[in-house]
Structure 1
């Protein structure tokens, strides 16, 4: 976060065409609409762990330290299918933050929630923080999630991330560098997910748009 796009480096950029294709494929098994559904009006904060077992698959436990908060607002939906995507999508982001803080590019939790090119680019992104010896502090606000599920195993997931209250902290020098308070520090994440054989919604591609959320 030394600069507005630090948390969403180009290593995380993916094909927008894939996202647009998935967006037009419908809202679920029995839907012909291409509208991305909102995630609900309620608010909630990130849980302390992710050990629940939806679909019978145990999720890895992900913990974030007190000095870094990832707050999720409106992360609920009355549709169980959409909620499952929200749950795994949230933990995918938390896993990457935890890996940065733990200086662990090979995080098993990241590998659990990311697959294919998304996994390799996520590891590259995390490694960038490790190489500069930076960790994360402050607060990230994640809000306005929108989900579209196509068939049984494909989904598109958009959400907003406000990084303006967060900073990097160098592990060696203890120097804190704040994220600039600019519109570019509020980003839209556009993810494509597929459901694994174990029932986990894994992120397979991700595009980020600095300033994409107001």
Structure 2
């Protein structure tokens, strides 16, 4: 269920993202309820997303089903710029899983939160699920965010962790559910670089993931 590694090639990215897919046979779902938000220590997957602070840009609304609980722990900052970064980064994560669940590799929400250079690689990650007729279910906590904003205010870096212990994939046709293979470290660390668009949206510019790179 690891999202992706976008620092090198799309192929390398797909391999990293497929660790849980190997165990689960993939990962993809086509229902949608709520899959976004920017809140405190935990966000309900059924609650609509909150727009980034201080922005009048109309952001897409993504939804997740109750069968996939994507929660964000302590994604808050007293600094309004850092909070804006956290809000948009969170929305990008939610948009990606929403696209898997909706069986939509060409998700407009994903395109909204990704720079042009990253969009194609995110699509390939989504397709590692959708091409195998899989969806994601269960629980995926996203925690320990750390954000740094560049002095010029145009770029930022973000790191965070996920816990795949209770996350699984489900075959859309057979209903078969699978989790990570026995012995797989469920914790995955992410390092993200973001760029601020002309419209004021913080977009993912690169993503690198490492299984076992953090713990809870």
| TM-score bucket of the superposed structures, by smaller chain | 0.7 to 0.9
The aligned counterpart of 1:110 is 110
Q: Which moved more, 1:44-53 or 1:99-108?
A: 44-53
The aligned counterpart of 2:153 is 152
In structure 2, C-alpha distance between the alignment counterparts of 1:212 and 1:152, rounded to whole Å: 28
Listed one character per residue, the Cα deviations across residues 35-79 of structure 1 (whole Å, up to 9, x for unaligned) are: xxxxxxx51315622363641101110111000001110111110
| Paired residues of 1:164 and 1:182 also in contact (CA < 8 A) | no
Runs of 5+ unmatched residues, structure 2: 9-39
In structure 2, C-alpha distance between the alignment counterparts of 1:86 and 1:160, rounded to whole Å: 13
In structure 2, C-alpha distance between the alignment counterparts of 1:199 and 1:149, rounded to whole Å: 14
The aligned counterpart of 2:179 is 178
In structure 1, C-alpha distance between the alignment counterparts of 2:68 and 2:183, rounded to whole Å: 20
Q: Secondary structure at the match of 1:55?
A: coil
In structure 1, C-alpha distance between the alignment counterparts of 2:182 and 2:164, rounded to whole Å: 9
In structure 2, C-alpha distance between the alignment counterparts of 1:57 and 1:179, rounded to whole Å: 38
| Paired residues of 1:50 and 1:59 also in contact (CA < 8 A) | no
Q: Is 1:192–2:193 an aligned residue pair?
A: yes
**Residue 181 of structure 1: CA displacement?**
6.1
Q: Show structure 1 runs of 4+ deviating over 6 A.
A: none
The aligned counterpart of 2:3 is 8
| Paired residues of 2:51 and 2:87 also in contact (CA < 8 A) | no
The aligned counterpart of 2:18 is none
Runs of 5+ unmatched residues, structure 1: 2-6, 16-41
RMSD across aligned C-alpha pairs, in angstroms? 1.7
Listed one character per residue, the Cα deviations across residues 127-149 of structure 1 (whole Å, up to 9, x for unaligned) are: 11111000000000100000000
In structure 2, C-alpha distance between the alignment counterparts of 1:122 and 1:160, rounded to whole Å: 18
Q: What pairs with 1:103-142 in structure 2 (closer than 5 Å)?
A: 103-142=103-142
Listed one character per residue, the Cα deviations across residues 57-103 of structure 1 (whole Å, up to 9, x for unaligned) are: 01110111000001110111110010000000101000000000111
Q: Which moved more, 1:133-142 or 1:112-121?
A: 112-121
| Paired residues of 1:51 and 1:60 also in contact (CA < 8 A) | no
